[in-house]
Structure 1
Amino acid sequence: MSELYEIRGIGLRSVITDHLFRVGPQTIPDLLDALEYQGFTVAGRPAKTVSDALRWERERGRVRLVRRGKYAPAEMPRTTEQRIHRRAMELRARAGIAAGRDDEHFWDRVALYLD
């Protein structure tokens, strides 16, 4: 089994916020599945950790709560979005390297986030 890259703090917030802006509304289990697929793991109680990260982003107006446990992108300045996207892409690349992923399918999926 490949090794997952542990993510926390600003990195976690960046990856999940970027994911919401690229994919659209997601539930916490959907976000956890997406994190795992991208090669990440979350320490502690993953659902609570992701929920806490989303609360931080809600307070800054970048993410909104659609209903209990389901979040959607809100608004953010273009420069902030670019900075978050760049940080998320760097972390996805690190997670891919840590997991030993060198298959073309994985990197093609990561490239979808560039569009």
Structure 2
Amino acid sequence: MSNSLMLRGTNLRYVLTRYLQLNGPTTVAGLVVALDDWGFAVAGRPSKVISDALRWERGHDRVRRRERGRYVATIGIPRRTEHRINQRVEALRAQARQLSLGGGHQPP
């Protein structure tokens, strides 16, 4: 079992959006590597899961597609939304660090 925190849904979208805010335009392949570096994983084919999550964020105008497979965070996200994203991502990163130190997911 991996020591990575599995992301899906809102958590995955928030982590991707935050990464793009911090690091600028990035490819889907770069985001796959970034998730691994931050201690996260996704179920299924990572490029597909990430592309689907970014499509949702594009619909809410938090992310824009620059070209095929390359995305950038938009400027002008409402402050409350940005704060909520930042808080959630920091909590998830702390949880991922704890997993990497503690040896993996705890059994249910």
What is the TM-score when the length of structure 1 is the normalising length?
0.84
Aligned match of 1:37? 37
Aligned match of 1:93? 94
- Cα distance between partner residues in 1 of 2:74 and 2:63: 5
Aligned match of 2:106? none
Aligned match of 1:112? none
Q: Which amino acid aligns with 2:60?
A: R
User: How big is the shift at 1:15?
Assistant: 0.5
Structure 2 unaligned spans of 5+: 103-108
- Alignment of 1:79 with 2:80, yes or no, is yes
Single out whichever of 2-11 and 53-62 deviates more from structure 2. Answer: 2-11
- Cα distance between partner residues in 1 of 2:50 and 2:2: 22
What is the TM-score when the length of structure 2 is the normalising length?
0.89
Once superposed, what is the RMSD of the aligned Cα atoms?
1.4
Partner SS, residue 99 of structure 1:
helix
User: How big is the shift at 1:63?
Assistant: 0.3
* Number of positions where the alignment pairs a residue of Structure 1 with one of Structure 2: 101
Identity over aligned residues, as a percent?
A: 48
User: How big is the shift at 1:2?
Assistant: 6.2
User: How big is the shift at 1:79?
Assistant: 1.1
User: How big is the shift at 1:36?
Assistant: 0.1
Partner SS, residue 96 of structure 1:
helix
